[in-house]
Structure 1
Amino acid sequence: MNTKTAVRLTRQLRHPLPLQRTTIISRRQVVPSSTSSYHSYDHPTPPPYSDTAKSILSASLNHIPEHGFTRKSLSLGAKDAGYLSISTNLFPQGAFDLILYYLATSRLKLQDSVHGRDGHEQQWASGKIDVKERVKTLVFDRLRFNKESGVIKRWPEALAVMAQPTYVPQSFAELSRLADDIYFLAGDTSVDTTWYTKRASLAAIYAAAEVYQTQDQSAQNADTRVFVDSRFKELESAQTGVSSVAEWVGYTTHSFINVLRSKGAQI
């Protein structure tokens, strides 16, 4: 069962094309910005949001801490953006459309974490920090966005929505994009047999960390950092072969699913 779960996750990851890179969803396709897009391995470019949809979704993010990932937040966002509440019909998946928008914009913020003002790029230029540590830093950055945006207390609701069978494929696809983008931004250029397992392992670690973060009451999510460090150490111990890594990914993912089930998710 664990290995099958790992295979399910890795199937969401596209194999890299060594001589070709295509543009992933850019910041300009999600929110207006003068920042140029960056590239990652063989990610298809999804259709951009319309200006109306972007305005409503962006405004709706402000209401998530109070109203959660709900149509209520979308309605309030539409009002804030100057549109009628009926404009929320632009989002046939309702709350899940808002969740996807939050995930995409948060993922794209990692670009600024590296290349933006006071980003990691200058520190990493020395070459003294290896890819593994860079990856871990970006995982912490992405988790920090959950806390800074105020959505963390609402995240169990989002996890339950994403775990619904209808939305699982899109949820896993977005998680795989996050793992791929993190490795790309961390400077990983390897194209070998570990391409799948590295990303599947990272996706499993991040998914488990988000669940842990929803219960973390420590200052600055210090306990979550310890949790993530422990998972990376476990992964290093498992990296003796593809099969052992797959088993580790399967176990971690299965544990993550069990936590979701304990919260009422029907999966």
Structure 2
Amino acid sequence: MTDMSDAFLDAALQHVPFDGWSEATFVAAAADVDAPLAQARALFPRGAVDLAMAFHRRADRALALALSETDLATMRFRERVAHAVKLRLELVAGEKEAVRRGATLFALPIHAADGAKLMWETADVIWTALGDSSDDLNWYTKRATLAGVYSATVLYWLGDQSEGHIATWAFLDRRIGDVMKIEEIKAKVRNSAMLKPFATGFERFAASVRAPRAKGQDDLPGRWTPPT
């Protein structure tokens, strides 16, 4: 984000608890930073929706930075995942009402796809920070599963009144435990003489699915490279 975008978002956060991620918030934020609405819409074409998405993504960037500075090697795998999700929520603990308003916004059918995309992006940030090297179907299933765990934990966290959100962390631990049970079942299927042929067939299919490229294709028609 540019400095202007950050300033605009910071201004908007002062109004979100009262007006939500709405046009009223968008207009008020533009006035606060003394920016013409045309300039504000150049930064956030869809107005408050893009502002809400920028708020989420700014926290994701902060999470990626924090995880890069954390020694995760001393933690067990499930502890790493729990730590990452907990850290992500702690980064926005001071803006809990903005998160609540965002959850309301992205629950609307017209914005549900945007909300799902943001959950996926957060899961991807976490898996990338944890060193995930999968490049087949597992790349997708890992992110889809974690996105589900994260979104459920966010909703629980929003209603949690326990001291230090201890109830949320217990809820998170249970959700991660459920995911680990699924992995245990998959391992049992692979080791079962009766079910192994089915598992082998599925694993062949999974291996044929590839994760998206980290960078865009450079062989698309119409591409132009400036001379050096």
Taking structure 2 as the reference length, the TM-score comes to 0.71
What is the CA distance between 1:199 and its match in structure 2? 1.2
Q: Is the 8 A contact 2:120 2:144 kept in 1?
A: yes
Matched residues in 2 for 1:68 and 1:164: separation?
Answer: 13
* 1:193-222 deviation per Cα after TM superposition (whole angstroms, max 9, x unaligned): 422221111000001111111110112211
**Greater mean alpha carbon deviation, residues 138-147 or residues 155-164:** 155-164
Q: Is the 8 A contact 1:56 1:81 kept in 2?
A: yes
What is the CA distance between 1:87 and its match in structure 2? 5.0
Which residue of structure 2 lines up, in the alignment, with residue 37 of structure 1?
Answer: none
Which residue of structure 2 lines up, in the alignment, with residue 60 of structure 1?
Answer: 12
**Which AA in structure 1 matches 2:74?**
K
1:81 and 2:27 correspond: no
Q: Which has the larger radius of gyration?
A: 2
Matched residues in 2 for 1:241 and 1:109: separation?
Answer: 34
Instruction: Structure 2 unaligned segments of length 5 or more: list them.
Output: 190-228
The 5 Å alignment of 1:4-23 reads: none
- Note closer, same or farther for the CA distance 1:154–1:55 as it changes in structure 2 (3 Å cut): closer
Structure showing the higher helix proportion among its residues:
2
Which residue of structure 2 lines up, in the alignment, with residue 178 of structure 1?
Answer: 122
Which residue of structure 1 lines up, in the alignment, with residue 133 of structure 2?
Answer: 189
Instruction: Structure 1 unaligned segments of length 5 or more: list them.
Output: 1-29, 33-50, 245-267
- Decide which of 108, 111, 134 is 2:61's aligned counterpart: 108
Q: Is the 8 A contact 1:76 1:85 kept in 2?
A: no
* 1:71-125 deviation per Cα after TM superposition (whole angstroms, max 9, x unaligned): 232223222222245655444433311210111101111123123xxx41xx33x
Identity, % of aligned pairs? 26
Matched residues in 1 for 2:156 and 2:92: separation?
Answer: 12
1:99 and 2:52 correspond: yes
Which residue of structure 2 lines up, in the alignment, with residue 136 of structure 1?
Answer: 82
1:241 and 2:193 correspond: no
The count of residues paired between Structure 1 and Structure 2 equals 186
RMSD over equivalenced CA pairs, Å: 2.5
Matched residues in 2 for 1:130 and 1:199: separation?
Answer: 19
Considering Cα pairs closer than 8 Å and 6+ residues apart, tell me whether 1 or 2 has the greater RCO: 1
**Greater mean alpha carbon deviation, residues 63-72 or residues 194-203:** 63-72
- Decide which of 137, 149, 159 is 1:205's aligned counterpart: 149
Q: Is the 8 A contact 2:78 2:176 kept in 1?
A: no
Q: Is the 8 A contact 1:69 1:98 kept in 2?
A: yes
**Aligned to 1:194, what secondary structure does the other structure show?**
helix
What is the CA distance between 1:191 and its match in structure 2? 3.3
Matched residues in 1 for 2:129 and 2:2: separation?
Answer: 20
The 5 Å alignment of 1:208-219 reads: 208-219=152-163
Q: Is the 8 A contact 2:21 2:105 kept in 1?
A: no
Matched residues in 1 for 2:18 and 2:105: separation?
Answer: 17
Q: Is the 8 A contact 2:81 2:126 kept in 1?
A: yes
**Which AA in structure 1 matches 2:26?**
L
Which residue of structure 1 lines up, in the alignment, with residue 92 of structure 2?
Answer: 146
**Which AA in structure 2 matches 1:137?**
H
Matched residues in 2 for 1:31 and 1:112: separation?
Answer: 17
Which residue of structure 1 lines up, in the alignment, with residue 170 of structure 2?
Answer: 226
Q: Is the 8 A contact 2:85 2:150 kept in 1?
A: yes
**Greater mean alpha carbon deviation, residues 85-94 or residues 131-140:** 85-94
